[in-house]
Amino acid sequence: MIYLDHNATTPLAPEALEAMTAVLRDLHGNPSSTHAAGRAAREAVEQARAEVAALIGASPEEIVFTSGGTEANDLAIRGARRARGRDHAVSSPIEHPSMLGPLADGPTSWLPVGRQGELDPAALPPLLRPDTALLALAVANHELGNVTDVRAFAALARAGGVAVHADAVQAAGKLPLDVAALQVDTLALSAHKLHGPKGVGALFVRRGAALEPVLRGGHQERERRAGTENVAGIVGFGVAAELATAEVDRASELAALRDELEKRALGVEPDTVVVSGRVARLPNTSCLAVSGTKAETLVIGLDLAGVAVSAGSACSSGKVEASHVLSAMGLSQELAQGAIRVSLGFGTVSADIERFIGAWSELIKRMRQRQEAALTAA
């Protein structure tokens, strides 16, 4: 199997697995306990906290461990609204469902989306109100790979006394991240998007930022998030974060492979559209759309040929309607229904691109032959 769905999840790094196995075997204590076993577990958690903090230029005490990116986004949005006593938020309609879900619990104004999926900071000031609690945006879109200038948005929002939350789940490990440069109050991360384990994430909370906990019942995580910490998962996250810091430097290699894939896919089917191909993107992400096809057909056909891709966000699998991201961009329904996401990883090599192009070529050829046969029969 050629795995080209890294935006859905990444393979667990062997180093992370080894570290987690050691924790499960040897560290039995609760990190909140004061005896030796508890202190050993606490030490492991704090080491991982420092490693995750280093990935984004934060201080360890600003990192709150969660069950994943979804909980981190939820805590940031609900927590800011509660702490500030204001409900209004500003965001964009192309955000991940883990952002759109909690945003729906209060009044939200939506930034306009350009034809390439771009967001314009100049559109923000008219949407800010006296009751605006926060601005919530992704650093990079999960389906398109579009990179948003969060810093430009943050400068405008903070000048108006509005908190800024960034969803960096897709960006971490692919782009250099520095929370001070971004000027954000909170920032969400997820371990399994950067070769760590599933079921663990983190929320950066700037020192002094107003945030109320959503999960209550214990004093863990400086009373930001109650519940006994997932020690093995957190340790795996820490190892993955340390590895990701080095991997970011290889982004140009990944972008070259992505560009080669797109060029050759267009050579096979000139009517292919590289969605958002003219704006800054993550180095690993390509959204390919072919008019007159169905994304499900493309995904299944490629899967049968031994190539794994997706039809958008993994959190939206099973849906047959067009992606909300592509709809918000104004992409035609026909084209949007034929869009797939190909997302490379740092383990991707040229041979994988060859396999994809071979499978893509055969699949497109068969589909076009069936379409021609149907037209002839009609």
Q: What is the pLDDT of residues 145-154, one digit of tens each?
A: 999 999 999 9
CB 264 within 8 A of CB 357: yes
| Side-chain-side CA neighbours of residue 109 (13 Å) | 17
Assess whether the region 2-7+250-377 and the region 14-247 belong to the same CATH fold: no
d(CA 118, CA 107): 23
* Per-residue pLDDT at 317: 47
d(CA 200, CA 74): 14
CB 30 within 8 A of CB 335: no
Structure tokens at 155: 């400068």
Q: Catalytic: 315?
A: yes
| E strand residue ranges, 231-327 | 273-275, 285-289, 307-308
The angle, 0 to 180 degrees and rounded to 10, between the axes of the packed helices 350-377 and 295-304 is 120
CB 14 within 8 A of CB 22: no
d(CA 46, CA 189): 17
- Return contacts of 367-373, CB within 8 angstroms, 24+ apart: 367/293, 367/297, 367/301, 371/292
d(CA 203, CA 71): 9
Q: Where are the domains of the chain?
A: 2-7+250-377, 14-247
* Continuous segment of H or E residues that includes residue 104: none
Cα distances from 18 to residues 12, 24, 25, 237, 320, in angstroms, run: 10, 10, 11, 12, 39
Closest by Cα among 286, 260, 275, 300 to 344: 286
The domain 14-247 is placed in CATH, from the list 3.40.120.10, 3.40.50.970, 2.70.98.40, 3.40.640.10, at 3.40.640.10
* Per-residue pLDDT at 321: 58
Structure tokens at 214: 């959503």
Residue ranges of the chain with per-residue pLDDT less than 70: 312-322, 378
Complete edge-to-edge strand list for the sheet that includes strand 273-275? 273-275, 285-289, 339-343
Which listed residue (247, 315, 328, 362) is catalytic?
315
* Per-residue pLDDT at 200: 98
Sign, Cα dihedral of 70, 87, 139, 352: positive
d(CA 214, CA 101): 15
> What CATH topology corresponds to 2-7+250-377?
Aspartate Aminotransferase, domain 1 (3.90.1150)
Whole-structure pTM value: 0.95
d(CA 255, CA 354): 16
d(CA 57, CA 52): 9
d(CA 301, CA 202): 36
Render pLDDT for 297-325 as a digit per residue (tens, 0 to 9).
999 999 999 999 998 644 444 554 568 99
280, exposed or middle or buried, with CB in 10 Å at 0-12, 13-18, 19+? middle
Alpha helix ranges (H) inside the chain: 14-26, 36-56, 69-84, 97-103, 150-159, 179-182, 220-223, 231-247, 251-268, 295-304, 324-328, 333-336, 350-377
End-to-end CA distance of the chain: 38
d(CA 37, CA 54): 26
Place of tokens 């559209």: 273
* Per-residue pLDDT at 371: 80
* Per-residue pLDDT at 312: 62
